[in-house]
Chain A
């Protein structure tokens, strides 16, 4: 049928003998290909690419959970960037951590720094803020959402301690609803508070909240966990990671620097 009369009769016999060796030199591709008669092919590719982008944006914006999950504000008070906060308001330094409960480096960091953080909080030198950045998988999201439920009952920090202490390999199926509820009991949530906690976890009340938090973290330029922002009285925050703060001594030094406005 129409096979013979392609618009520009793509060359009858390709000059295939022209030895097109693997001229792999990454030559910047200019608009047209080397041979004549393939203009229609460019239109095919351009059309396909444009259609693919449009389909992608439509499909994925509908699938995006952070765009389509309802955000419920927690019942308890929060710190900066929707964080869980502890420590006296009079403390000179704010240490803000972005972390994922499934992240091994976060667990290691927590295990090593927890006593130091606790001491600095108790002595009124720092306020410590934990900001949700659940990115590793759905178990991270569910653990974070449950932690917000625990926060509603005033038990965020003991609950977070348990999540780290009991951490298993990423997305191994360990963090089930049942397990998260058991952690709630272990963290000391009892009586009517437990009933509210249970309802909150089962309903995934704060899933949208922690997903939004992850999105905001990425907008703030957080791209690894744990990430710390340490700010002193001048309010200027320094972003650091667990390699820069590799020991309790380094942690104390960073806090002292921030307090002295040296950062």
Chain B
């Protein structure tokens, strides 16, 4: 209500450490999404092969996923960076991480040897071992935890959500 930008720092200073931790988590997630999205956009054909390699989706949805997902990732990066609609954006992030974990786990369980295509690249590889899959799943679990933290945590500083609610 006060509207004056000069008041903001005082208010932010009164925020507890958890609010600042949420800000940190937001920035990490935004960075990861931006990187992942950007890397997947570079080679549109590789993205299609990467999605197809999981052998989980009917051919009709392979291209919408391969071409839509990176832009969704970039959009989430922007939302989390500027702090607009953080909680829903974090929930959507969490759902995506769960989906990625399920996809990688399923590829692993079926004995496929594919490049996850997480940060670009195209499905094909010359051999992926179990350690690689395990590492990818652990990474995604960590990101999932961060996303849930942002989704359930307090409104964080330096966010449009906060500006709009004060």
Q: Which residues of A contact B (CB under 8 A)?
A: 3-4, 6, 10-12, 14, 16-29, 33-35, 38, 41-42, 44-46, 48-49, 51-57, 59-61, 63-66, 100, 103-106, 133, 135, 211, 214-215, 218-219, 221-225, 241, 243
Contact = CB atoms under 8 A, between A and B. Distances in A.
Contacts of A52: 68, 71-72, 74-75
A132 B39 CA distance: 25
A219 B94 CA distance: 30
B145 interface: yes
A116 to B, nearest CB: 20
B7 to A, nearest CB: 13
15 contacts: A3-B1, A11-B165, A16-B19, A22-B145, A26-B145, A41-B161, A45-B92, A52-B72, A52-B74, A53-B68, A56-B70, A56-B72, A57-B64, A106-B126, A211-B45
Contacts of A223: 49, 53, 112-114, 123-125
Given A53-B64, A60-B47, A16 B155 contact: yes
A214 B165 CA distance: 52
Given A17-B16, A53-B68, 7 more contacts: A33-B91, A56-B68, A56-B69, A61-B67, A66-B48, A133-B124, A225-B126
A38 B113 CA distance: 42
A41 B85 contact: yes
A135 B122 contact: yes
A13 B121 CA distance: 46
A224 B144 CA distance: 29
Contacts of A241: 113, 127
B49 A214 contact: yes
B30 interface: no
Query: Secondary structure of the B side of the interface?
Result: helix
A49 B75 contact: yes
B124 A225 contact: yes
Contact of B148 (A27, A222, A225): A27
Contact of B87 (A41, A46, A103, A222): A41
B15 interface: yes
A16 to B, nearest CB: 4
Contacts of A28: 98
A113 to B, nearest CB: 15
Given A49-B75, A57-B64, A224-B127, A14 B154 contact: yes
Interface in B64-92: 64, 66-72, 74-75, 79, 84-89, 91-92
A10 B88 contact: no
Interface in B32-55: 41, 44-49, 52-53, 55
B88 A64 contact: no
